[in-house]
Chain A
Amino acid sequence: MNEMSKNENLDIQIYNFAYLDENTKRMIRRALLKALCIPGYQVPFSSREMPMPYGWGTGGIQVTSACLIPKDILKVIDQGADDTTNAVSIRKFFQKTANVAVTEKTSDASLIQTRHRIPETKLKEKQILVYQVPIPEPLRFLEPRETETRKMHALSEYGLMYVKLYEDIAKHGHIETAYAYPVKTNGNYVTDPSPIPKFDNPKMNNSPAIQLFGAGREQRIYAIPPYTNVKSLDFEDYPFEAMKANFKCSICGSSDSYLDEIIVSDDGKRSYICSDTDYCKEQTKLNSKKED
């Protein structure tokens, strides 16, 4: 027992603060600064091997690692929830390697790493939101050549992006794309908001918080600085619509937060609950106060 706790202390000493070495963090910070200067532009960076598989948030972790300072308060969410595997393991990782305070409360956090959601609670200035990004290139499935997509970004040739939306309407009668819905950042670069539901897209617009995006496997970093115009692409006659399931949360009763659909019985009964666990707790608390 004594032996083990000794080893644990040793671990903290062996790892540099927040796992990555200072030179790597410096390289990532340079990429981040560049990304903030050119909103929506994908900055290449030399992504490191992280002690977890690609697709588990290696890009987000590297960005978080480069941004963390000892007095930060960290929150990690996966699909809006604080208690899912990915969120728990990343939170523990930074507790162990950086010894930072952690929280589940959105409003208390100074840095939030997220996968697939933006918290319902409105973000504030001096908060940083770090997205885990699987595919940073919004044009990837339309034009597979990276040399060509870079040129298309450089020359703002985005006709093809609209072809995708056109195909959606032609096939389904409305824009079917429901997540990773492309946006135009600062009127310039078309950007992939990572696979957040399009319900969250309006939250990106003019946000007081800094939004950083890290794609580990793809070795790209991009950013949306605070108070930047972020517009979801659409057609004049088929305007963008933020969508969610038209139900109330069966725990807190909220009708304005994004809902997860859960099948609760073998005969297919469904229930809907907030995907943002922190927001759900807050609402439940507010409700019980009202009842008192």
Chain B
Amino acid sequence: MQVNLTGSLRSSANGEAVVEISASTIRELLSKLLETYPGMEEHMELGIAVSIDGEIYRDSPSKKLPAGSEIFLLPRLQGG
């Protein structure tokens, strides 16, 4: 499936805005991304969130990624 990269994440994927990864859960997605793009580790350690069809998930690694869904990798947000 297509995974959209945002922010500083693109710099660790050769500047690509979209990468192709096959994964069924958020956990699998993140581990495969790290395998392919080890440079992402420094971004992931600062926190990461995954948007699936517009819903942002911060702490749900087991969340399923439905086929054809819109996936965005976002920085983990902070709030006041």
- Verify that A and B bind, or say they do not: no
